[in-house]
Copies of this chain bind each other. A is one copy, B any other.
Amino acid sequence: MTRLFFTLFCCTLLSAQSNTDDKNQIKLFYDLSLLEGHSYEWLDYLSNRIGSRLSGSLGAERAVAWTKSKLDSLGLDRVYLQPVKVPKWVRGPKEFSLIETAPGVTFNVPITALGGSVATPSVGLKAPVVEVQGIEDLYKLGRKNIEGKIVFFNRPMQANLISTFQAYSGCVDQRYDGAREASEFGAVGVIVRSMNLRQDDLPHTGAMSYGEQDVSKRIPAAAISTNAAEKLSYLLKLEPKLKFLFRQQCKIYPDVWSYNVIGEIRGSEFPDEIILVGGHLDSWDLGDGAHDDGAGVVQSMEVLRLFKKAEYRPKRTIRVVLFMNEENGLRGANAYADSALSNREKHIFALESDAGGFTPRGFSFNCSDEEFAQVESWTPLFKPYLIHYFELGGSGADIRPLKNKHNVLAGLRPDSQRYFDHHHSENDTFDAVNKRELELGAAAMTSLIYLYDKYGLVKPLPNTTME
């Protein structure tokens, strides 16, 4: 009895001590991030000095070189570039478009070519318009109502969903698959309502795909601003025979070489157990990609800087990966996962920040219930920092290929309300990011990485991990 009591007493002491250590360590990370953080000045440089970073662009190459030089300056154990071939799509001159309700009666409207789209004829493409609420409408309308027309996908994001990402998921098929599907019914072009919950005049680009569709069948696709979408829809009711004209000269070039940028602090006890933190270095070519995903890039870099600054030597290897080509290909993510597989690397935990630089609300976890129980036991450590959201769910596009049945993937979940006001548009700029919100995200990420480094997985990984 006495011995059992003593053991329990020791365990309690140890646990209380451990809890205090964790509290203090997390407080230190937050203090360093908020008082002496580098994430915001890094984002300033990435956004304002380098700017947009579409795969294959000069901006992307400058971002590779600059982030590598910054990681080099942090005193990490290893910094390197991982070559990856990426697609090179170029927008060309600014798009032009108008609604013509009668010969000579026109209204200019703002559009932007969707990423991956083909060009229109150089004089532009002019055709009548058929408005639909989604791909299923194409099947209802049939070829007779679509052939020779421009299909106008106008299903708005659902404003009464609390998660704007859920609202985005519910609409983005129009943008991604709309052109390919409409072409099969004889459409000559596609105009898609911007994925934006706000009424404004900014069109939002984003990836579209023709899949394996024959080149001869590929039709041009552009996004139209939400205000202009309302206008077009209204005018169509007044004048169903109106015509839409748009002109875009985008072009796909052969793939070019680029890089994932990688840096790591080698673990002192379990160097073979890798904890990854990352975001994506590429962005769309509108705006400067400050929220998507400049924020995730600088926060991920900051995690390693905070470990160094706090003079905390991790037990496991902490690796930052700045992925190339998330937006239109995921080539960086796939190259990284392939390399991890062939090198038999053990990724026990991976954390992605790719949902904007807004106030962090928590994390979403892709893991077993058993692993999630461990995460939940840590929530009291995060409550003082107003981090409340810990849910099972997705993680992030760049780390998803690393998932196996043992490890844990997670995504930072910032407040999402303003995200799609900026996403993929020309107002995704540095001034839309708040310094404290960005720094709070970096601190939350560092704290979670710290806990995974200290406590590891509940069920340790077997030797082969990619199963």
A residues bordering B, Cβ < 8 Å? 30-31, 34-35, 159-160, 162-164, 197-198, 359, 361, 384-386, 388-389, 415, 417-418, 421, 434-437, 440
A209 to chain B, nearest CB (A): 30
Further 4 A-B residue pairs, CB within 8 A, beyond A34-B160, A162-B384, A198-B435 = A159-B436, A197-B436, A417-B434, A421-B434
Judging by beta carbons under 8 Å apart, are B440 and A160 in contact?
A: no
Cβ of A389: which chain B residues have Cβ within 8 Å of it? 386, 388
Contact at B359–A417, with CB atoms within 8 Å? Answer: yes
Among the listed B163, B164, B434, which residue makes an inter-chain contact with A418, where contact means beta carbons less than 8 Å apart?
Answer: B434
Cα–Cα distance between A388 and B359 once the two chains are bound (Å): 14
Q: A197-B436, A198-B435, A436-B197 are in contact. Are A385 and B417 (CB under 8 A)?
A: no
**Pairwise interchain contact A415-B359, C-beta atoms closer than 8 A:** yes
- Chain B residues near A162 (CB-CB < 8 A): 30, 384-386, 440
Closest B residue by C-beta to A391: B383
Residues of B within 8 A of A163 (CB): 386
Q: How far is the CA of A436 from the CA of B420 in the complex (A)?
A: 11
How distant is the Cα of A163 from the Cα of B159 in the complex, in angstroms?
Answer: 29
| Interchain CB contact (< 8 A) of A159 among B35, B198, B434 | B35
Whole-angstrom distance between the Cβ of A430 and the nearest chain B Cβ: 14
Residues in B whose Cβ lies below 8 Å from that of A31: 160
**Chain B positions within 8 Å of A34 at CB level:** 159-160
A30 lies within 8 A of B421 (CB): no
Q: Nearest residue in B to A436 (C-beta to C-beta)? A: B417
